[in-house]
Amino acid sequence: MSDRRDFIKKAALSTIGISTAYVSANATTKGNITLLSNPLKDVKKPIIISTWNHGLPANEETWKQLKKGKPVLDAIESGMKIPEADPKIRSVGYGGFPDRDGNVTLDACIMDHNSDCGSVSFLQGIKHPISVAKKVLEETPHVMLTGEGALQFAKSQGFKEENLLTPESKKDWEKWLEESKYAPVINIENHDTISMLVLDESGNISGACTTSGAAWKMHGRVGDSPIIGAGLFLDNEVGGAAATGLGEAVIRTAGSAMVVELMRQGKSPFDACKEIVERIYKKHQNHKDMPYLQVGFIAVNKKGEYAGYSLRSGFNYAIYDNEKGNRMEDAKFKMEWK
């Protein structure tokens, strides 16, 4: 296309609020005519928002699957499987840090716009807990399966049992054993749960979480991530929210459910996340967990407004939309790490 025609097209589209990134993703050009494959009302959707740097490749895969026309939960599952399978990501799935006895134990959940959900907790030996959580939603009358029962169910569904403790994680665990001091480190290098929220092209909200949980936890410990209302919550009339950080603090405050309830009362995603982080701070400022406490939330509402907010500095999230593509944003926070 000539520079002049390109300039006129960009100018015309920008006056009606459509970016060139959106056009290249959604348009075909025939002669002088640009055809948008999505109607204008869908300009902002889909929107995918995921916690931490590992959200970027997860968003990429989920977006790809949505654009192929895959059902949204399938697309979310495919995205979450990327960090689950990556041994370099030490807080999710294969290669995750083990508990203090050297066992990798995994938590995950998934929820759709009808409020149907599936979850697994304290699952061992299965690389993709998100896929087992989805099977719980699809194939059982229950919401959550745990431990040995979750493993038996996974095997009955054809999942292969395998060793998830990589040599690197084993080495780190052996080093940790020298002092055996429990103080989870949750920051940008050593991040935590991947939580994902999707506002799809029909305007419906879905989400998921998956994690290996806090490093060096007690055997049997379950965090917030598989708990609907704590690590993840959504109400398709309002919006969705998901958490990262120290699960105990998120469970104590029913974090994600509260963010959604504040949005229902009219708060923006940013104000809702901030208010819950303030509440968590108030309840924990004199708590034994405070020295290492980090929590962060992401939220999106039905209008496509989104935000992230954390207690301490260093939380970021990946956001993918038509307007600006897939990128990282730093969350605002209450306080710097001391």
Amino acid at 22: Y
DSSP conformational letter for 112: -
How far apart are CB 93 and ligand GLY at their closest, in Å? 13
Name the residue number minimizing CB distance to ligand GLY.
Answer: 223
Q: Which stretch binds ligand GLY (CB under 6 A): 144-152, 209-217, 256-264, 300-308?
A: 209-217
- Indicate which single residue of 224, 233, 260, 297 sits in contact with ligand GLY (rule: CB under 6 A): 224
Say which of 51, 105, 193, 211 is annotated catalytic. 193
192 binds ligand GLY (CB under 6 A): yes
CA distance 264 to 277: 17
223 binds ligand GLY (CB under 6 A): yes
- Residues in a beta bridge with 118: 110
How far apart are CB 253 and ligand GLY at their closest, in Å? 13
CA distance 293 to 247: 10
Does 140 participate in catalysis according to the annotation? no
CA distance 112 to 71: 11
Q: Which stretch binds ligand GLY (CB under 6 A): 53-61, 135-143, 241-249, 325-333?
A: 241-249
Nearer to ligand GLY, 214 or 259 (CB): 214
* 239-245 and 295-301 strand pairing: antiparallel
214 binds ligand GLY (CB under 6 A): yes
Q: How many CB atoms lie within 10 A of CB 235?
A: 18
Q: How many residues bind ligand GLY (CB under 6 A)?
A: 12
Q: For residue 225, give the nearest of 318, 93, 333, 82 by alpha carbon.
A: 93
84 binds ligand GLY (CB under 6 A): no
Query: How far separated are the first and last CA of the chain, in Å rounded?
Result: 54
How far apart are CB 263 and ligand GLY at their closest, in Å? 21
CA distance 196 to 130: 12
Active site residue ranges: 193
Q: Write out the residues near ligand GLY by the rule CB under 6 A.
A: 192-193, 211, 213-214, 223-225, 244-247
